[in-house]
Amino acid sequence: ALSYLHGRLAARIPTAGPIAVQPSQQKRVALIGPTGVGKTTTIAKLAAHYALNERCKVGLLTLDTYRIAAIEQLRTYAQLLAIPLRVIYSASEAPATLTELQDRDLILIDTAGRSQKHSLQMQELRALLEATQCETHLVLSATTKCRDLHDQVARFAQAGVDRLVFTKLDETSSLGALVSVAASAGIPLSYLTAGQKVPEDIEVAEAGRIAEMTLAQDHG
């Protein structure tokens, strides 16, 4: 019965696989989402993985005018990995900055935490995503209540969302909400994170594994 349940559950979970980087074409990926979900740490994990394990030329771009500490955190990782970091203060600066980074295979874009209820912040975000022509991963915390997760997905979808990333899996005892959100939104999952270690605590989302973890919690 459990294997039947596992199959049914896995079939409901859309997944996207890892970020696909082509040698001759620059890939741009923005991480967006509410405040406090771990976007900056997730960017650091992805940057470390692609720079060290995949041997990609990675560049970091941050539009983060509100939290100076986050820029410093990202700068530390950029120095450790010997990769360029550019800070911009408005979407209009993005094209010129991207020209400076044109030799990079992968550009990871960090965005300040946005309140999904603040329409001006959402307009700024949409302007940045349009200016950078990027693939957008919405980062959500597994510790967030199910209703709030659905609300966040619906509101950020206005800016455009291509993938979902779930963080803080080590801090929750219920994955059911994540499965519900991914299935009802129909937006594929790209990554899961559990813990603060860079780059270890991140994995590519796999439907079978998520189903297994969910059932283990329910029947544990």
- List, for residues 156-199, the tens digit of each pLDDT value: 998 899 999 999 999 887 778 888 898 899 999 999 999 888 88
What is the DSSP secondary structure assignment for residue 22, as one 8-state letter?
B
Q: Please check whether residue 10 lies inside any domain of the structure.
A: no
Amino acid symbol at 212: E
Range of the domain at 40: 26-219
Q: Please check whether residue 183 lies inside any domain of the structure.
A: yes
Q: Please check whether residue 14 lies inside any domain of the structure.
A: no
Q: Looking at the chain, which runs of residues are DSSP E strands? A: 27-32, 58-63, 85-88, 106-111, 135-141, 163-167, 189-193, 202-204
**pLDDT recorded at residue 218:** 64
Amino acid symbol at 71: I
As for how many domains the chain has, the answer is 1
Task: Kindly report the CATH number assigned to the domain that includes residue 183.
Answer: 3.40.50.300
Contact call for residues 33 and 122 (beta carbons, < 8 A): no
What is the DSSP secondary structure assignment for residue 167, as one 8-state letter?
E
CA distance 136 to 99: 20
Q: Please check whether residue 7 lies inside any domain of the structure.
A: no
Q: Please check whether residue 32 lies inside any domain of the structure.
A: yes
Q: Please check whether residue 12 lies inside any domain of the structure.
A: no
**pLDDT recorded at residue 172:** 82
Its pTM surpasses 0.95: no
**pLDDT recorded at residue 5:** 85
Q: Please check whether residue 19 lies inside any domain of the structure.
A: no
Q: Please check whether residue 64 lies inside any domain of the structure.
A: yes
CA distance 115 to 37: 12
Q: Using 50 as the pLDDT threshold, list the residues of the chain that sit under it.
A: none
